Structure 1
Amino acid sequence: MTDKRTAEQTEGNMIKDPDNWVTGDEPMTGAQRSYLHTLAEEAGEEIGDDELTKAEASKKIDELQEKTGRGV
């Protein structure tokens, strides 16, 4: 069983700013690329640079999720 303090710490660690990711400067993953293209198509936007880093792709995904209504 998890106590409340542990649960709060775990939840707090789940969301990190992409600028602080250790692997943020690595090339985006295949899953990110695919989802990014899906969102861009729905939003009527062009991705442009298909060589984004993981952090850049994450930020663009967040932006497009907001625009398309897919965000939380």
Structure 2
Amino acid sequence: MIPEDYVCFFIEKLVNCVDFSEIDFQYVDTPGQKAYPAAMLVCIILLGTIYSIHSSRKLERIVRENIVFMYLVGFQTPVF
């Protein structure tokens, strides 16, 4: 469905090379809704930047509508 040479696979490899465990660990025992993984948010921001989408509301919508964004976030839908 997504071409093998599509930019989302590069973003996925790039983000997987970064250790976000310290950032994610800071939000483990905080009150409120569970925090979204930092890697997922970075993927959304990077691909959004490539598509020239900078609004969090537009990013939220496109994650629900675009299969490439859905793939990058593991078919989760963050709410901003």
TM range (shorter): under 0.3
Name the structure with the higher helix share: 1
Higher relative contact order (CA 8 A, sep 6+): 1
Give the greater-gyration-radius structure (CA). Answer: 1
TM superposition score normalised by structure 1: 0.27
